[in-house]
Amino acid sequence: MSDKTLDYPSRVSRQPADETLDLSPGLIRALWLLLGSVAAVRLLGVFTLPFTDTTEARYAEIARKMVETQDWITPQFQYGVPFWGKPPLHTWLSAAGMEIFGVNAFGARALILVCAIAILWMLFVFVRDELGRNAALVSLVILSSSLLFFGAAAFVMTDLAMTLGIVITMVSVWRVLNNLGDKNLNGLLVFAGLVIGLLAKGPVAVVLCGIPLVLWGLFTRRWRDYGKLPWIRGFALLLVLAAPWYIAAEIKTPGFLNYFIIGEHYERFIIPDWQGDLYGNGHERPKGAIWMDWVLAFLPWSLAFVPMLFKPRAIQGAFENDTTGWRLYLLMWAISPMILFTPAANILAAYTLPGLPAAAILLVCLYCDLWGRVPGKPVRLAVASFTSLIIVVGATYAVLAKTAPHSINLRSERELVAKRDELAPQLPLYYFGNRSYSAEFYTKGQARMIPDLIGLDALANTDHALAIHHGTEARLVATLAPTYERVGRFGRHVLYLHRLVHREGSK
């Protein structure tokens, strides 16, 4: 960009923007229908999809333990074992949902879904004020039907709650800088969003907001405008709302801050194949793999950026002619997760989620810049095809999860536990070799793990149910055959029953 384009003037308060996209009433109705269909399919999945190992089942079981023990300060990895890996906001949300709706999948997911709805609503208002209602509607269709957001919208994990906090902060900063809306309210919302991020995933949320804001301020030479933010009142709000839990957690379980700050926020990302994880294994990946993760996470819409590669000068012109710096703001926000995690070795595709709202808006904005206000037939066809693909795949997956779960290889123990409950609900359930979080959730914490044959031998004189991984069954069949009744295979595991009275009666 040339130097003359770097000084972006602040704007005065204004009404919502005129329509950037010229859409017919029929096309608008079609877009609302697509958005409603995406929402309906995702809601269907809330009820039909079981908790799967390991991520969602683990966090759901931690939340269930919180409900059972009524310990709202320290999430528990096992009974009496604190979970230091993440702050508790997502656990609070799932636990509160289960307090309201019962200990079930809907209860655990309901308030996570509310977070997704809040993100979409904030996005609609944000884009409406810049590009008009039509562009806002298209942005919602794109984000809601992107692969990662669609899945995360009602998935029990940390990232969506953090993304809500980041969206609140980034939208509110923009409003303060450009004198849009209530300056005092928006200023405090900047820090309220950081509070949500700190309680959802920790200091990484602050970093993911700081990267785009620092870069945008430097590139546009508007860094002095950050003086408009209510720094003193904002930090006071942040300390009052976020610090108490961190202090209480350290007092209740000493060592938490060292593990969480140093281990989870430094060593996890810097040390390849990090072995310090108390709750799993590191996810060693090639450095820079986060960019490919973004391509996959934003499918099918990441493909829509490909035609832009053939119009580099037009894209440059769109950024240079943007006297507000809005496009650059969106770009910095969209790529901030990749900037942060490019040198990291232990990463997950979910780390790209905080940037997807900005990517969806930027996609709409650049298509308007490059191809005009009236979307042509290829664009309309692409929007319909991409969204319909997610709807069809999501609906198929949700239906099969209920009617034929084994056909889609779900890593869940819901069906096995249900069969145990049907045949012998009084028998304790043991898993040989590996812990299953989904089994723990569906047995209300009663499923246990047997590490080896010594542990199995110790159960010889007890009635119990046993789950063995299908890949291990052949090795153990000689040991099991004389005393165990094989029930059948359910997903990854085979269920056996060991009943002393039943065996003696058959003799």
Answer whether residue 507 shows pLDDT above 60: no
Check residue 1 and give its pLDDT: 39
| Residue 409 pLDDT grade (very low, low, confident, very high; cuts 50, 70, 90) | confident
- Name the β-bridge partners of 449: 431
Output the pLDDT for position 5: 38
CA distance to 50, 260, 273, 398, per residue, from 278 (Å): 25, 11, 13, 33
Residue type, 355: G
Any idea which residue has 């593990």 for tokens? 259
Close Cβ partners of 278 (under 8 Å, ≥ 6 residues apart): 77, 84, 85, 259
Backbone angles phi, psi at 488, to 5 degrees: 150, 175
Average pLDDT over residues 322-326: 93
**Tens digit of each residue's pLDDT (9 = 90 or more) over 150-206:** 999 999 999 999 999 999 999 999 999 999 989 999 999 999 999 999 999 999 999
Q: Give backbone dihedrals phi and psi of 498, rounded to 5 degrees, phi first.
A: -120, 105
Question: Dihedral sign, CA of 209, 212, 214, 216?
Answer: negative
pLDDT at 269: 67
Of the chain, the percentage scoring pLDDT greater than 90 comes to 81
Average pLDDT over residues 101-120: 97
Q: What's the pLDDT band for 11 if we cut at 50, 70, 90?
A: very low
**CA 198 vs CA 105, 165, 232, 282, 318: distances in Å:** 26, 9, 18, 22, 35
- Helix/strand/coil (H, E, C) string of 359-386? HHHHHHHHHHHHHCCCCCHHHHHHHHHH
Tens digit of each residue's pLDDT (9 = 90 or more) over 458-478: 999 999 999 999 999 999 988
- For the chain, the 3-state helix, strand and coil shares in percent, each to the nearest 5, are 65, 5, 30
- DSSP string for residues in 433-461: SS--HHHHHHTTT--EEE-SHHHHHTTTT
Question: Tell me, what DSSP letter sits at residue 212?
Answer: H
Q: What is the pLDDT of residues 216-266, one digit of tens each?
A: 999 999 999 999 999 999 999 999 999 999 999 999 999 999 888 888 777
113 and 331 Cβ atoms separated by less than 8 Å: no
Q: What does residue 177 show for φ and ψ, rounded to 5 degrees?
A: -60, -30
Between 198 and 11, name the one with better pLDDT. 198
429-to-55, 455, 462, 468, 475 alpha-carbon distances in Å: 21, 13, 12, 11, 20
Reported as a pLDDT band with limits 50, 70 and 90, residue 285 is: confident
Span 343-391, pLDDT tens digits: 887 789 999 999 999 999 999 999 999 999 999 999 999 999 999 999 9
Q: Which residues are within 8 A (CB) of 150 and not within 5 positions of it... i.e. 6 or more apart?
A: 38, 42, 144, 390, 394
Give buried/exposed letters for 449-487 (b at 16+ CB in 10 A, else e): ebeeeeebeeeeeebbbbbbeeeebeebeeebeeebbeb
Percent of the chain surpassing pLDDT 70: 92
How far is 354 from 428, CA to CA, in rounded Å?
Answer: 42
User: DSSP 3-state assignment of 110?
Assistant: helix
Specify the pLDDT at position 4. Answer: 39
